[in-house]
């Protein structure tokens, strides 16, 4: 399914807001690309995934998802490669993803990190309106 976008040239990056590594990476992407190119959305927030009904919570937990300006959805290492391909000159590196054998290795590596992200990088803190914070369990 293709999703309409508010801005014709904006990629939407759906990330796990409870994951410290994912949150830092999403912030880095947003800073690097700018708001006209990339919009990040924490899929853990209420209502975010209802905008993208073909992306289930389990699928979002397993892999990063990127919705391209044309509505096409990419996931995992392929999503990262798709974003990299939009960078002038450096974008050629995004095509390395398609080299025989490299794609399978990158997806395996991505899957390993994604499955172990809380153990490897920790969880973010969540604060309530009273200022009390706790770690996600």
Q: Is the pLDDT of residue 116 over 50?
A: yes
The rounded distance, in Å, linking the Cα atoms of 110 and 89 is: 24
Domain assignment present for residue 5? The answer is no
pTM score: 0.78
Alpha helices in 3-101 (DSSP H): 20-33, 57-62, 77-84
Domain assignment present for residue 116? The answer is yes
Domain assignment present for residue 3? The answer is no
Domain assignment present for residue 6? The answer is no
Q: pLDDT tens digits for 16-65?
A: 999 999 999 999 888 888 888 999 999 999 999 999 999 999 999 999 99
Domain assignment present for residue 37? The answer is yes
Supply the pLDDT for residue 89: 82
Supply the pLDDT for residue 120: 84
The rounded distance, in Å, linking the Cα atoms of 40 and 38 is: 6
Question: For the chain, what is the total number of helices (H) and then of strands (E)?
Answer: 5, 6
Reading the block at residue 102, the tokens are 């490299």
Supply the pLDDT for residue 93: 85
Instruction: Specify which residues 39 forms β-bridges with.
Output: 12
Write out the residue range of the structural domain in which residue 69 sits.
11-135
Domain assignment present for residue 62? The answer is yes
Planar angle of CA 67, 73, 75, nearest 5 degrees: 100
Domain assignment present for residue 34? The answer is yes
Q: Is the pLDDT of residue 13 over 70?
A: yes
Q: Is the pLDDT of residue 137 over 60?
A: no
Number of structural domains, the chain?
1
The rounded distance, in Å, linking the Cα atoms of 119 and 31 is: 26
Average per-residue pLDDT for the chain: 84
Supply the pLDDT for residue 4: 47
């Amino acid at each position: 399914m293709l999703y309409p976008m508010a801005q014709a040239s904006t990629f939407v990056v759906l990330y796990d807001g409870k994951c410290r590594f994912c949150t830092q990476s999403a912030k880095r992407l947003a800073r690097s690309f700018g708001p006209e190119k990339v919009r990040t959305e924490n899929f853990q927030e209420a209502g975010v995934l209802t905008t993208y009904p073909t992306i289930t919570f389990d699928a979002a937990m397993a892999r990063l998802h990127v919705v391209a300006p044309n509505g096409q959805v990419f996931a995992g290492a392929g999503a990262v490669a798709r974003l990299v391909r939009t960078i002038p000159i450096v974008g050629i590196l995004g095509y390395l993803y398609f080299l025989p054998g490299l794609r399978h290795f990158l997806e395996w590596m991505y899957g390993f990190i994604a499955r172990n992200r809380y153990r490897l990088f920790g969880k973010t803190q969540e604060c309530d309106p009273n200022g009390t914070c706790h770690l996600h369990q």
